[in-house]
Structure 1
Amino acid sequence: MSTAALPRVTVVAAKYRDAVPLVALQRDAAAIGVICAEDDGKEGRAALDRALADAEGRGCRVAHAPRTLGGQRGSGKEELLKEFQEVRPQRLLVQDPDPVRVGFDESAGVPVHDVPPGDAATALDAIAAARDYQLATGEPVLVDCRRAGVDERADITAPLRYPQTTNWLAEGFDGRLTAFQPSAGGVLRWTQDEPGGRSWRGPELLPGPRLMPALSVCRDPHGFVHLLALRRTQRKDGGEDVSIMRAAQYRTGGALTPWHSLGSPNPGDRYKSREAGFPAAAFDASGTLFVFARNFGHSVSYRMQGADGSWAPWQHLSGARIADEIVTVTTARGDVEVIARLRDSAAVVRWFRPGAGAAWTEDRSIALSPAPGSMAAGPEPGTILFRDLHTNEPCVWQPGAVSALPIGGADGAGPVTGVPGIESEGWAYSALVRSGPGGSCVVGAHAQGRPDAGVWWNDLGAHSDRMPAMVRDRTGAVTLATVREGGRLSVANRLSPTGGFDFSAWNRV
C-alpha cells in the first residue's frame, strides 16, 4: 500500500526519545510522521530511528524524516500549526497534557511531577494547534494522549490519558441514532436520517468551548443524550483550571444545549483544581443525574442534579485512593453505583447506597484485577465488564458475586460493552462488542443473565481506531458502528430482529 493511501498519524513529543513510546503505540499500518519540540542528541535520534524501523516492520511507512521545531520559546503552537498545514494529520499522538502528581511540596505549595514540564507544554501546544488546524480546514483530527510512566510494551489502550469513549452510539427520543466522537476541534456528530434507515449525515463539528479531546456519553430515562468533557481555562494568576463540562441533546440532529460548567471538586486553587479527573455519569430510576470524578486527594467526588434540574454542590467520598478510572452502573433497583480502579494496587473499590438518600458505603470485597483502561458497564443492570490484568481475557462481574467470570476473547484490547434484550430464535440474549486483532469489530452473545453458559465471538472486520459501538433501538434492531481517522463512520445492521446474529455488510457513511 502506498504512503498516500495509509492513515496519516502524526507524533508530537518534547524530544526524540519521548517520541519512541508514542511510535510504539501505532500497531496498525499508517503513514507516521514525527515532530519534536527540541533535539536531544544523537542517542535520542538513534532510539527514534530504531522505533520507526520497528514500525515499518509492522506495516507502517515513515511519512517524512523526524522534524524539530526551530522557533523561539513560546512559539510552539504557531510552529506546529505550520507543520500540520503541510503534513495534514488525521490522528495525533501526544504526551500527557496534564500529568498526575507523584507528590506535593508542602513548603512551596506546589505539586511534584516525575516528568519534565516541557512534556505537558508540548502536548498542550500540539492539541491547540490541531484544534486550530481542524477549525480552519474542516478535516477532523482524532487525538490520543499518552499517560506518563507507562511501559510502551503494555497493552495499547493502557497508556491512554483519557478513557476511551464507550456507548457513543445512542438512540434519541425520536428513535433516530446519533454517533458522537471527541476530536481536537470539539465533538463530532453523525445523525441517522430516519429511524431504522441506512442513510446518515456527518460528521459535523458541534459548536462549543475548547474542550480536551475526550468525551463521556450517557442517556437519561427519557431517551435524551448527555455529554461530559473537560475544559482547561486560564486563570488570572497565571495558572490553569480544569473544569467538568456538560451539555445535552434533546432533539436528534438539533443544537446541543449550551455547555454548562460543573466546576471542579477542588475549586479555587491553581494546582488542586487542575487535577479534576475525567467524569463518569449515570442516571438513577428517578431521573437524578450523578457525575463522578477523581479529586485532588485521589478519592472520588460527585455532584448530582435532581429531576427538577437543581444541582447539589460537590461532595466527597472518603476512603480509598483511586486511579483516574471510574465506571458507573445502574442496578436493577434503579440505584447508581460506582466502581473505581485503585491507584496503588491491582484491585477495585465499589461505592453504593443502601437506598435513596442513604450514606455511601465503601466496599473492597470484590476480587477483580482489571487491566488499566478496560473497565466498562456491562449490558445487564449492575454488571461490570473488564479485561483481566494478567490474561487480557474479558471478564464479567455480576452483583452479589465475589469474583468475576472469564468469557473468552483474549485477543484485541480495550473495554467491552454491550446491550441486553436481544431476541434470537425465541431466546433472550445479551450482545457484546469489543476491539479484536488489529482493531477489528468483534461481537459476541450469551444467554441473558447467564454468561457462564458461554460466549461465542465473531470477528466482523471493519478496522476502527476507536472502540466500536453497539445499540439496540426501541424496535429491537441492533446497529454496530466504527470510526477511523478522518471522521469515517461505518455502520452495520443486524439482518433479522429475531433471527441469528448475522449483520449486513459495512456501510461507510
Structure 2
Amino acid sequence: MNGDWLIRGRDGRLSVYLSTDDAVLCRAEHGPGGPWDAPRRVGGTQKLHPVLAVGQGADGYAHLVSWRPTTGGESGLVHSTHFRPRLAALDWMPVGHPDKRGKRTGTPAVAVDAQGRAHVFVRNTAGGVSMVAQKEKGGWDPWRDLKGGDVQEELAAVTGESGRVELYAAAPGAILHWRQEEPGAQPVLRETIEADVRPGTLSALATSPDSTTLFYADVSGDLCAWRPGGKPAVLLASAGPGPVRAVRCELDGYDCTLIAQRSASGRVAFAAYPTEQESAGAWWTESGPQLPMDAEVSLTVDEDDRVVAATLSASGGQLFLTRRKDEPVLALEAWRQV
C-alpha cells in the first residue's frame, strides 16, 4: 500500500484500507473512538491487483487508486472516492494507462489538491513518471509525461499547505522532486539531488506553509529528511527495513513530527522531534507486539488531536491500534486488536 491507509474521515471516524489478492477492503469505527465494523469491499465487484494507493483531500474524502486486469494480460488503473467511512465508496472507474495500454508499470501514488482534484502518478514503461488528474467539474485530463528516468517503482505524492501537489521519486543515486507552480498546473521537475535511497522507503509530509519534507532510508541504513532547496539531514539510524510513516502533531505544546517504522525486532519504533528542526535529534522507542514480516504501520490524529497508530498485516489480516494517552510526552495506550 502506498500512502496513509489509516485516515480520519470528515465525520471524525477512523478508517483503514487493506489491499487483498483481488479487492480493496475498508474497516471503519462505528463512531469516533468506538467499536469497529467488519471489513467491507470497496468500489463494487471488480477484480483488482493487490496494490493500492490512498490520498485524502482537505474535505476529508479518501481517493483510492489500484490496478485491474483488462484483456490479454494487460492492466489499467482505476479510481474510487470514499466520502465517509461508513458509507459505500463510489464504484471503481477506469482512468487509463500511462502508455495507453500494457501491463502494470509500477505502484501508483495519489495526492489531492485544494480543489479536491485527485492527481494520480505512476512510473511509465520508459522509466519516467506519468500523471493524470481530475478535472474540477468532472472527468479526467489527458495523461501527461512528467519525464524523469530509471525511477524506482514506489513514488511519494503529497499536497503542501498551499494546496499544490508535489511528487518525489528515487532513481539510482538520485532523488527527483516535481511541484506545481500554481493550482491546477502540471507539476514540473524542479530539483534533483544525489542520494542513494533504499527502495520502498519514501514518505512525504507537509511541514510548513512553504515546504514539504521527504523521509527516506539510505543504503547505509540511515533515516534521512530532505526539503527541496536544502541538503538532506540524517535523523538517526533506521529502526528496520520497512517504509517510514510520518505525521505532525502537538507534543507538550510544540509542533512536532512523529515518525514510525517497523523495527528489526518486529515491533513498532517511534521517534519525534520539533518539526523541521532535524538538528534537535531524535531517538527510537519501541512499542507494541511483535508483528509479521509483512505488517505495515500508519499514523494519523483523531478528532481530539490525539496521535493514533495502526499496524496491519495482509497475511494475517490483523489490525492493531493504539492512541496517545492524555499525558506528557508520547505515552501510548496498550495496543489492542480490533
TM-score, normalised via structure 2 length = 0.91
Distance of aligned partners of 1:309 and 1:439 in 2 relative to their CA distance in 1, 3 Å threshold: farther
Counterpart check, 1:312 vs 2:141:
yes
Q: Out of 255, 276, 298, which is 2:88 matched to?
A: 255
Higher helix share goes to which structure? Answer: 1
> How much identity, in percent, do the aligned residues show?
29
Q: Out of 210, 217, 226, which is 1:387 matched to?
A: 217
Letter in 1 for 2:89: L
Aligned to 1:329: 158
For the 8 Å contact 2:215–2:224, the answer to whether it is kept is: yes
Counterpart check, 1:452 vs 2:250:
no
Counterpart check, 1:291 vs 2:124:
no
For residues 426-456 of structure 1, give each alpha carbon's deviation from its aligned partner in whole angstroms, at most 9, with x where no partner exists.
2221111111123311111111221221112
Q: Mapping of 1:194-343 within 5 angstroms? A: 194-197=31-34, 199-206=35-42, 207-234=44-71, 239-268=72-101, 273-342=102-171
Aligned to 1:63: none
Q: 2:305 & 2:191 partners in 1: Cα distance?
A: 37
* Post-superposition offset of 1:357: 5.3
Aligned to 1:442: 269
Q: 1:428 & 1:319 partners in 2: Cα distance?
A: 34
* Post-superposition offset of 1:215: 0.9
Q: 1:426 & 1:243 partners in 2: Cα distance?
A: 46
SS in 2 for 1:407: strand
Aligned to 1:408: 236
* Post-superposition offset of 1:492: 0.8
Q: 2:51 & 2:323 partners in 1: Cα distance?
A: 27
For the 8 Å contact 2:19–2:51, the answer to whether it is kept is: yes
TM-score, normalised via structure 1 length = 0.62
Aligned to 2:298: 469
* Post-superposition offset of 1:307: 2.9
Distance of aligned partners of 1:450 and 1:310 in 2 relative to their CA distance in 1, 3 Å threshold: same
RMSD: 2.0
Larger Rg: 1
Q: Which runs of 5+ in 1 are unaligned?
A: 1-163
Distance of aligned partners of 1:232 and 1:455 in 2 relative to their CA distance in 1, 3 Å threshold: same
Distance of aligned partners of 1:208 and 1:454 in 2 relative to their CA distance in 1, 3 Å threshold: farther
For residues 266-322 of structure 1, give each alpha carbon's deviation from its aligned partner in whole angstroms, at most 9, with x where no partner exists.
225xxxx21432211111223232111111222111111133223111111234342
For the 8 Å contact 2:268–2:288, the answer to whether it is kept is: yes
Aligned to 1:365: 192
Aligned to 2:324: 494
* Post-superposition offset of 1:184: 1.3
For the 8 Å contact 2:12–2:32, the answer to whether it is kept is: yes
Distance of aligned partners of 1:475 and 1:183 in 2 relative to their CA distance in 1, 3 Å threshold: same
Distance of aligned partners of 1:266 and 1:392 in 2 relative to their CA distance in 1, 3 Å threshold: same
Q: 1:245 & 1:482 partners in 2: Cα distance?
A: 26
SS in 1 for 2:154: strand
SS in 2 for 1:415: coil
Distance of aligned partners of 1:466 and 1:169 in 2 relative to their CA distance in 1, 3 Å threshold: same
Greater relative CO, 1 or 2 (CA 8 Å, sep 6+): 2
Q: How many residues align?
A: 331
For the 8 Å contact 1:379–1:418, the answer to whether it is kept is: no
